[in-house]
Structure 1
Amino acid sequence: MQRLASLYRHLEGHSLGRAGLALGAGLAAALAHPPFGVLPGLLGFAVILRLADQASPRRPLASAFFRGWLAGLGYFALSVWWVTEAFLVDAAAHGWMAPFALVLLAGGLALFWGGGIWLYRLARPQGPARMLVFAGALALAEWTRGHIFTGFPWNLPGEAWRAGGAPSQTAALVGAYGLTWITLALAATPAVLPGLARRQALAVSGAAIAVLAGLYGGGAWRLATAPAPRDTAPLVRIVQADVDQKTKWRPENLDLIFDDYVRLSALPAPRRPDVVIWPEGALPAVIDDLLAPGQPYPVVLAQTFAPGQVLMLGANRVGLGENGAFDYFNTLVAFRRMETPGLEVVGIYDKHRLVPFGEYLPFGDTMTRLGLRSLVNMPADFTPGPPPQPLTLPGLPPVQPLICYEALFPRFTAQAGVRGGIRAEWILNVSNDAWFGATSGPWQHLNLASYRAIEEGLPMVRSTPTGVSGVIDSRGRLQAGAWMSQGRRGVIDAQLPPPEGPTPFSRLGALPFAIMLLVSGAIVGVSFIRRRGRGAGRPHDFANVAQVD
């Protein structure tokens, strides 16, 4: 430990060393997320706070921004490196974009961290509570990242706790952004301890330990009081056909893939599934073409399913736009087998939040002139669907679909319920994680999606073509024996876990997070008043912190 401390002090004394510390601190914090799960990596935020406190006195704001940006660069480079896999699916057309995509995405997202650390330094907080100001500034930056330009809230610091574990249960009270504020404050606490009087250090440490114990203790109690399963719950079958994205869209593979899904859907079971689920974009075709008169696919599906059974599958759909051109939608279609042989469409959900650059190009005309296009296997970008509402399907509880990317957004389901005038009783997340291969991306996506179950108090069914698929209860836990990892082919048959009443977060929304930000702001205000009381022109604004540059 002494050698590590000596090395740290050595690095801290040189500009390149401080840059390396910032980059390394971000990398360490990213290691806390699945599939790594190295929670001590969260202490990287303590290093970031210390580096912000030690920003150059000559240009403190610029120095703080740069160090925050470097930390964010490390964090997001490790968090989103899997995005390069999507460009390698069709390497001949898109492979050249992969390194640029990673650099631009990680560097662009890091700007939010740079802004958050800049804001922290601008506030000039003093004393042992400044980790709460740090938490407020960086959490606000993360909230902005999750909302601006449609938002990309991937791997919020508060979602580093494994979904379904005790600390993650706090999201039912304050949501992922509120848990981010708490996580940042806890992780940054060690940075304010050096130089404090013994009594102050004990008080700050004791408070942090009490909060951490509350996360684990309160979460354990909540997990122990989960609602009991219901014998009458619908039986769900998830079909994971393990279809490789690189070969999926070859024309000769359509019938092979369709037949594979049909065979898996028809596997015998002790109890007939009430609903069968195929993942996002299950078939390499437009659903309108498959259902056209004379096509064999509707006949085969009608023969596969029993009367009353529901099939929900992700598909590409075509519609006629207002200007007479075709619009393309990323869609979830629900079919019901009628008593007479045949299928009827009983529900359609068009994806509302599209992935920038993946499903549509921001500033499309300009990007197209530069030779760029989205990654969709369609003649044009997808069109966003209308604001979402729960689907009410025959014989099933109301369901809120989330297609892929939509599972990243807190309160998406609650807001859809308000809009539709009915609360969903389960969430269906269909996703095509085959784009990201056998990387960390699908595991992280599973973790993030599971937080939506915790926040809403609703079970989730998750269907992907290559994994990870499974049934998740209202506490965010994958059900034993009801999930399938990457690279496996088969079906998951499981009863739908019970929903619970609306959680505090689903009722209060952003209010708890707003209160946390107000606490951070109040500390800034108190620090400002104290500085004014001591008089202007003091040479040192940060309590017990030495300036180094």
Structure 2
Amino acid sequence: MNPTAAFVSPRPRLTLRQRLLALGLAGGWRRRLVAWGAGALGSLAMPPFGLWPVLALSFPALVILLDGTRGPPRQRLMAAAGIGWWFGFGYFVASLWWIGDALLVEADVFGWLLPFAVIAMPAGLALFTALGTVMARLLWSRSMLRVFALAFGLTGAEWLRGHVLTGFPWNTYGYAFSESLMLMQGASVVGVYGLTFFAVLLLATPALLLRPGGRGAVAAAALAAVVMAGAAAWGAHRLAVTQVGNVPGVALRVMQPNLPQDKKFAYDRRREILLNYLKLSTRPSPAYPAGLNDVSVLVWPESAFPFIYEREPWAAADVAETLPANVTLVTGAIRYDQPPEGQVSPFFNSIRVLDAHGRVLETTDKVHLVPFGEYLPLQATLERLGLEQLTRVRGGFSSGGTLQPLRVPGLPLASPLVCYEIIFPGKVIPSGPRPGVLLNLTNDAWFGKTPGPYQHFAQARLRAVEEGLPLVRAANTGISAIIDPVGRIVASLPLGDEGVVDGPLPNALETVPIAGRFAGTILAGLLLAALTLAAAPLCGCATRLS
């Protein structure tokens, strides 16, 4: 036995709090790995998982890492940018990996782009998160108010992500509450960016408990829990007292063919596809025992036809032979026409209204096209290099000018939204008279049975809550649904099922929700308040906490 062993003090064991605080001081690959892991963990808050409490681990980890940035101002900001980028990269890789599935539909043509979709795109989106953490670090202090700095920085960055370069607000943090019908009601007051602000602010507060001697940390965390509970209670109350009737005389049927993407645009099967749509649309159901004879409005999904409708006279004849006189058909369809000034493609991604004789009554064109899916930025240049968009339409699509209301016989005035047009908060209502329904036609077959279609559905559902309008959603492979103006699902069909969704059309709310009128003003107020509070310790207006 070593005679000096008795005089060597054992190494003290670190508490969990000390280990976490030490983690914040870690640098190099450890810091990057923790940031990446915290972001990836946060992706579980998004549909279809909806585990929003995991953000109470992700955001505190971000606070701890930002607490650990040291050195001159430039060094601190560079460290904050790196932390934010790795956090965002982990979050977007884990929550958007399914985008790569679209490239495997024609893997021989697009498979080589898989690294771009799965790695390069999340890397680019993470730049916004890096900007958010830099903005937060500029306002950082040892005060408990630093959680307001984080809420200001990340919410501002998420708003920018939803607007810069046509915008891509997919999976902004507020959608963490989209799987909870009670918490979702907050979107009617503050909108999804307001929900993002409160998600960051409230779920980052557990980090305050880790600083030894922090005055009021327990009270702050308790207050955050009370606010969350209060939001849920208010949401439950709103659901209980908001009873909406149905629009008289409207009997809806949404047809979901579940047609695989590699079969959907097969021109040589065009008549087979149309006849299958018509056969599926006529089937009887418990709601409509007489099938289409009980229906007033039939809705088909985006780009239903693998042909130009006007160029195939037999198509109108088949529609006229099948539809009863009382039925109006609303369908997605590719349209051919003279391109607008400044655009070159004669093709449009449209919604068309057909009467029982197969005649086109109304048409509206998609305004917000999908980059790389429906058009290429610098289209002519990239086409010369051999690139093409996923739809493989030479020259891409042209876009409609502005969102226009759609008049459908038998329906209230409709706001027509093709595919991901519905994910843009505050941009789903055309100017003029308020519509009575959101009409969303989409094709999520590109993404198979991945989280993508669930996330798309959740975002569409949240638009109904923000605007106080019912939603009718027709998706090729699902999820198709009829949703009331507070987000309750009246009827739906799961992802990957073939069938029809039948039901009445709920009324719109008589009063437009606060978010539907003032979401931008409310967000500006929240960011200004957060900026003021976060900056207070820096200018001696609040007591610093050691």
2:95 is the counterpart of 1:79: yes
Secondary structure of residue in 2 paired with 1:510: helix
Kindly provide the amino acid, as one letter, of the partner of residue 385 in structure 1: G
2:233 is the counterpart of 1:217: yes
Matched residue, 2:37 = 24
Matched residue, 2:10 = none
Contact residue 175 and residue 505 of structure 1 kept, 8 A: yes
Stretch deviating more after TM superposition (426-435 or 229-238): 229-238
Matched residue, 2:71 = 57
Matched residue, 1:427 = 438
Matched residue, 1:538 = none
2:478 is the counterpart of 1:460: no
Matched residue, 2:370 = 355
1:36-71 CA deviation, whole Å, 9 max, x = no partner? 222222120111122112124251000000110000
- The alpha-carbon deviation at position 352 of structure 1 amounts to 0.5
Where in structure 2 are the equivalents of 1:272-351 lying within 5 Å?
272-290=294-312, 295-321=313-339, 322=341, 326-337=345-356, 342-351=357-366
C-alpha spacing 1:281/1:207, structure 2 compared with 1 (3 Å): same
Kindly provide the amino acid, as one letter, of the partner of residue 495 in structure 1: P
1:134-155 CA deviation, whole Å, 9 max, x = no partner? 1011000000000011100000
Matched residue, 2:504 = 495
Q: Give unmatched runs, 5+ long, in structure 2.
A: 1-13
C-alpha spacing 1:323/1:407, structure 2 compared with 1 (3 Å): closer
2:278 is the counterpart of 1:262: yes
Structure-1 separation of matches of 2:326 and 2:254: 17
Structure-2 separation of matches of 1:198 and 1:15: 28
C-alpha spacing 1:11/1:131, structure 2 compared with 1 (3 Å): closer
- Structure of higher RCO (CA pairs closer than 8 Å, 6+ residues apart): 1
1:106-157 CA deviation, whole Å, 9 max, x = no partner? 0000000000001111223441121112101100000000001110000010
- The alpha-carbon deviation at position 277 of structure 1 amounts to 0.6
C-alpha spacing 1:367/1:441, structure 2 compared with 1 (3 Å): same
Structure-2 separation of matches of 1:331 and 1:452: 21
Residue among 203, 216, 220 paired with 2:219: 203
Matched residue, 2:530 = 520
- The alpha-carbon deviation at position 195 of structure 1 amounts to 2.5
- The alpha-carbon deviation at position 376 of structure 1 amounts to 1.4
Residue among 384, 392, 411 paired with 2:407: 392
Secondary structure of residue in 1 paired with 2:337: strand
Structure-2 separation of matches of 1:468 and 1:488: 9
1:344-384 CA deviation, whole Å, 9 max, x = no partner? 32221100111111111112233334432211132221111
C-alpha spacing 1:265/1:236, structure 2 compared with 1 (3 Å): same
1:421-472 CA deviation, whole Å, 9 max, x = no partner? 2111111111100010111100111011111000001110111111111111
1:521-541 CA deviation, whole Å, 9 max, x = no partner? 11243223218x99xxxxxxx
Residue among 413, 430, 437 paired with 2:428: 413
- The alpha-carbon deviation at position 413 of structure 1 amounts to 2.6
Contact residue 227 and residue 498 of structure 1 kept, 8 A: no
2:191 is the counterpart of 1:175: yes
Structure-2 separation of matches of 1:263 and 1:380: 34
1:170-215 CA deviation, whole Å, 9 max, x = no partner? 0000100011001110111111232364651232123212211121
Stretch deviating more after TM superposition (468-477 or 159-168): 159-168
Matched residue, 2:495 = 486
Matched residue, 1:506 = 516
Q: Which runs of 4+ in 1 moved over 6 A?
A: none
C-alpha spacing 1:375/1:303, structure 2 compared with 1 (3 Å): same
C-alpha spacing 1:203/1:323, structure 2 compared with 1 (3 Å): closer
1:472-494 CA deviation, whole Å, 9 max, x = no partner? 11111222xx2111221111111
Matched residue, 2:50 = 37
Secondary structure of residue in 2 paired with 1:31: helix
Secondary structure of residue in 2 paired with 1:441: helix
Kindly provide the amino acid, as one letter, of the partner of residue 19 in structure 1: R
Structure-2 separation of matches of 1:233 and 1:30: 43
Contact residue 359 and residue 376 of structure 1 kept, 8 A: yes
Count, aligned residues: 521
Stretch deviating more after TM superposition (8-17 or 152-161): 8-17
- The alpha-carbon deviation at position 231 of structure 1 amounts to 7.1
Structure-1 separation of matches of 2:212 and 2:443: 51
2:264 is the counterpart of 1:242: no
Paired-residue identity, %: 37
What is the TM-score when the length of structure 2 is the normalising length?
0.91
What is the TM-score when the length of structure 1 is the normalising length?
0.90
Structure-1 separation of matches of 2:446 and 2:107: 12
- The alpha-carbon deviation at position 248 of structure 1 amounts to 2.3
1:485-528 CA deviation, whole Å, 9 max, x = no partner? 12211111111122102111111130111100001111243223
Residue among 166, 182, 194 paired with 1:150: 166
Contact residue 403 and residue 430 of structure 1 kept, 8 A: yes
Kindly provide the amino acid, as one letter, of the partner of residue 425 in structure 2: P
Kindly provide the amino acid, as one letter, of the partner of residue 40 in structure 2: L
Stretch deviating more after TM superposition (124-133 or 226-235): 226-235
- The alpha-carbon deviation at position 232 of structure 1 amounts to 2.2
Secondary structure of residue in 2 paired with 1:92: helix
1:310-363 CA deviation, whole Å, 9 max, x = no partner? 1011111111124895521110001122xxxx2332221100111111111112
Query: RMSD of the alignment, in Å?
Result: 2.1
